[in-house]
Amino acid sequence: MINRIIIDNFATIEHLSFDLGDKLNIITGETGAGKSVLVTAISTVLGDRADTAMVRTGSSRALIQLAGEKNGEDVILSREILSSGKSISKMNGEMVTLGQIRKFCSDWVDIHGQYDNQQILDPENHINITDRFHSESIRPELDKLEKLWSEYRDAKKAYDDLIRTEASALRQQDYYRFEYNYIEGLALKAGEHESLKEELSLMKNSAKIFSAVRSAYELMHERDDSILSNLSLAADELESVASYSEKISAMASESRDAYYTLEDISERLREISGSLSYSDDDMDKISERLSVIEDAVRKYHMSVEEIIAYKDELAEKLKVIENFDSEKARLAEDAKRKYTLLEDQASHVSEIRHIIAGRLESAVMNELRDLDFANSEFNIRIERADEISPLGFDKVEFMISTNPGEPLMPLARIASGGEISRIMLAFKHIIGSSDNVETMIFDEIDTGISGRTALTVGRKMSEIAEHRQIISVTHLPQIAAYGSDNYLITKSISDEKTHTDIEHLDPEGKIRMLATLFSGSDENESAIKAARELIGSTGATQP
């Protein structure tokens, strides 16, 4: 439940801070006083889109804070909206994403406005509403169904793609074969291009390279005063006094290591100088091979490695074409097998859904009787759709008859505005109980109702509030009278700015608020008397 709400610099609200009761909280106020702004602020902190236009004029930021409990644990949510366009959400002091906020709040607070009436009228939503009732029994099976549906979709796509490319692939077969044979004939090897270029460069510059390598070898090894002989003598000298100093010992060791390293280099120089002998034939062969490779590189605009990969790709395409019938049969069988699994699971889901729908029908009928639909009938019609979706093959639509003798008709075609509000309230009570939502917020769901119907809605809200917290914004005295905690939102203007305030009403304040809703004045004696009588009819204690 929500215990406390604090709002700063949000639209017309400069500062609001108020506590909420744990049962039926009723919020009233004149049109334009800020009731909708309050609900928008609560929706925003619970994860709705933040509108920078809601930052109060002259302020750099708006801040909405909400403190409450979920499953017995303390929760503090906050949403800071900056005029620059950014917003920051926090949960218990730690920054979180909107997705995390929405997930956390999905089974904690449920906000219902007039738009939800349109959702319940749309048959597209009826299957989801049905599945939410006893969702614990159908959700695991729906997850399995969605997985099987994805697997079948992928298998069907693979088959369809193959069929779609069949004709063009057959036309391309000769081209693929020619290209494959040409590249195969090149006998390309990875790294060959660079290796041959390096070898040809060595051949072309062999005399210069031989001279440099030979001179380096002689300087290191062959002369009487070669680097190696001098380095060896130096190492000997250092080793003779190494025992007197750790530093000298280390240098002696490093000098000996340098000697061995240079000795190894000189040996490799000798080997190279002995191999730098090439014939004109050798150069011609390498030049010809390079020419063939570079022609292919220019033709395909690819490296040697990419051409080899292209050849492998061609081989795979040829393999598919040459085995088209068997591949087609394999993919068709795979899609058929996966569809059978999908259809079986869809049938299983449908069986569960029919059971849930039957229970939901009974629950709705009980609620409707409580909401003065004494002679109504409610039915959930389930038919098989042409295709299987991630939700199965069921088409679900709510049917209702609100008058005796009238046939069942789609909900959208038969119900009036006031009836829709009551039907919606019935669903909210039922589905909310199934979801274990701790707090329900109703934003003027009483549009289109009055009189006895409004009293019935107020009574139903009061009954629901015995088991969970309700926050309701209303303009009807018949509903407001049922409030266990009543609040009045007022608007004032000072310093050429609009200010919104909220007041928690005591019993006398509640009576005067109801009188104002009746007559427009809190001093009208007849209205005050009517307010007292109305509160008395609800069973609430009068002042």
Conformation bin of residue 21: beta by default, left when phi > 0, alpha when psi is -120 to 50:
beta
What's the CA gap between 451 and 471, in Å, rounded?
Answer: 21
Residue 279 pLDDT: 59
471 membership: H or E segment, kind and range: strand 469-473
Instruction: Calculate the CA dihedral of residues 334, 338, 340, 345 and round it to 10 degrees.
Output: 170
In terms of domains, do 171 and 312 share one? yes
Which range marks the domain in which residue 447 is found?
Answer: 1-108+437-505
In terms of domains, do 169 and 298 share one? yes
Instruction: Quote the distance between the C-alpha of residue 160 and its chain's center.
Output: 29
Residue 405 has pLDDT above 80, yes or no: no
What's the CA gap between 314 and 178, in Å, rounded?
Answer: 10
What's the CA gap between 244 and 248, in Å, rounded?
Answer: 8
In terms of domains, do 477 and 461 share one? yes
In terms of domains, do 199 and 210 share one? yes
In terms of domains, do 93 and 204 share one? no
Q: What angle do CA 40, 46, 49 make, to 5 degrees?
A: 60
Residue 347 has pLDDT above 70, yes or no: yes
Bigger pLDDT: 22 vs 403 = 22
Share of the chain above pLDDT 90, in %: 37
- Partners of 78 in beta bridges: 65, 90
Residue 432 pLDDT: 67
Residue 543 pLDDT: 42
Instruction: Determine, yes or no, domain membership for 518.
Output: yes
What's the CA gap between 190 and 287, in Å, rounded?
Answer: 18
In terms of domains, do 267 and 171 share one? yes
Residue 505 pLDDT: 93
For residue 90, give the amino acid letter: K
In terms of domains, do 180 and 280 share one? yes
pLDDT band at residue 381 using 50, 70 and 90 as cut-offs: very high
CB-facing half-sphere around the CA of 80: CA atoms within 13 A: 12
What's the CA gap between 487 and 5, in Å, rounded?
Answer: 13
CATH code for the domain of 451 = 3.40.50.300
Enter the tokens of residue 428. Answer: 């909210």
Instruction: Determine, yes or no, domain membership for 398.
Output: no
The mean pLDDT value for 394-408 works out to 88
Handedness of CA 183, 186, 188, 192 (dihedral sign): negative
Residue 113 pLDDT: 61
In terms of domains, do 312 and 169 share one? yes
**Residue at which a domain ends, from 280, 303, 324:** 324
Instruction: Determine, yes or no, domain membership for 267.
Output: yes
Instruction: Quote the distance between the C-alpha of residue 512 and its chain's center.
Output: 48
Bigger pLDDT: 333 vs 435 = 333
What's the CA gap between 393 and 357, in Å, rounded?
Answer: 15
**Residue at which a domain ends, from 324, 352, 368:** 324
CB atoms within 10 A of CB 531: 26
Residue 266 pLDDT: 82
53-92: pLDDT as tens digits:
889 988 999 999 999 999 889 999 999 999 888 999 999 9
Residue 182 has pLDDT above 60, yes or no: yes
Q: In what order do the strands lie in the sheet with 377-389?
A: 377-389, 392-401, 409-410
In terms of domains, do 317 and 178 share one? yes
- How far CA 143 is from CA of 134, 157, 349, in Å, comes to 15, 21, 10
Helix then strand then coil, % of the chain, to nearest 5: 60, 20, 20
Residue 21 has pLDDT above 90, yes or no: yes
Q: What angle do CA 114, 119, 124 make, to 5 degrees?
A: 170
Residue 209 pLDDT: 62
Residue 224 pLDDT: 74
Instruction: Quote the distance between the C-alpha of residue 413 and its chain's center.
Output: 35
Q: Are 311 and 317 in contact (CB under 8 A)?
A: no
Instruction: Determine, yes or no, domain membership for 416.
Output: no
Residue with tokens 């009403």: 505
| Residue 466: exposure state from Cβ atoms within 10 A (0-12, 13-18, ≥19) | exposed
| Of the listed ranges 258-272, 418-432, 479-493, the one predicted with least confidence | 418-432
Residue 542 pLDDT: 44
In terms of domains, do 183 and 62 share one? no
In terms of domains, do 45 and 3 share one? yes
Q: Give how many domains the chain has, as a whole number.
A: 3
Instruction: Determine, yes or no, domain membership for 236.
Output: yes
3-state SS assignment for residue 94: strand
Enter the tokens of residue 66. Answer: 């909400």
- Partners of 543 in beta bridges: none
Enter the tokens of residue 125. Answer: 């939503």
Range among 306-315, 317-326, 433-442, 492-501 with highest mean pLDDT value: 306-315
What's the CA gap between 43 and 33, in Å, rounded?
Answer: 18
Bigger pLDDT: 454 vs 399 = 399
Taking each helix axis from N to C end, the angle separating 525-538 and 507-519, rounded to the nearest 10 degrees, works out to 120
Conformation bin of residue 32: beta by default, left when phi > 0, alpha when psi is -120 to 50:
left
Residue 428 has pLDDT above 60, yes or no: yes
Average pLDDT, the chain: 86
Handedness of CA 51, 53, 56, 60 (dihedral sign): positive
Residue 541 has pLDDT above 60, yes or no: no
Q: Are 66 and 124 in contact (CB under 8 A)?
A: no
Using DSSP bridges, classify how beta strands 392-401 and 13-19 pair: parallel, antiparallel or unpaired: unpaired
What's the CA gap between 336 and 376, in Å, rounded?
Answer: 45
| Of the listed ranges 96-100, 212-216, 389-393, 417-421, the one predicted with least confidence | 417-421
What's the CA gap between 149 and 42, in Å, rounded?
Answer: 38
Q: What residues have CB less than 8 Å from 112, skipping those under 6 apart?
A: 424, 428, 440, 441, 442, 443, 445
Instruction: Determine, yes or no, domain membership for 412.
Output: no
In terms of domains, do 63 and 186 share one? no
Instruction: Determine, yes or no, domain membership for 141.
Output: no
Instruction: Determine, yes or no, domain membership for 159.
Output: no
Enter the tokens of residue 249. Answer: 């010992």
Share of the chain above pLDDT 70, in %: 92
Bigger pLDDT: 418 vs 101 = 101
Query: Which residue spans within 97-223 are E strands per DSSP?
Result: 109-112
The mean pLDDT value for 454-478 works out to 88
The mean pLDDT value for 133-161 works out to 94
Residue 427 has pLDDT above 70, yes or no: yes
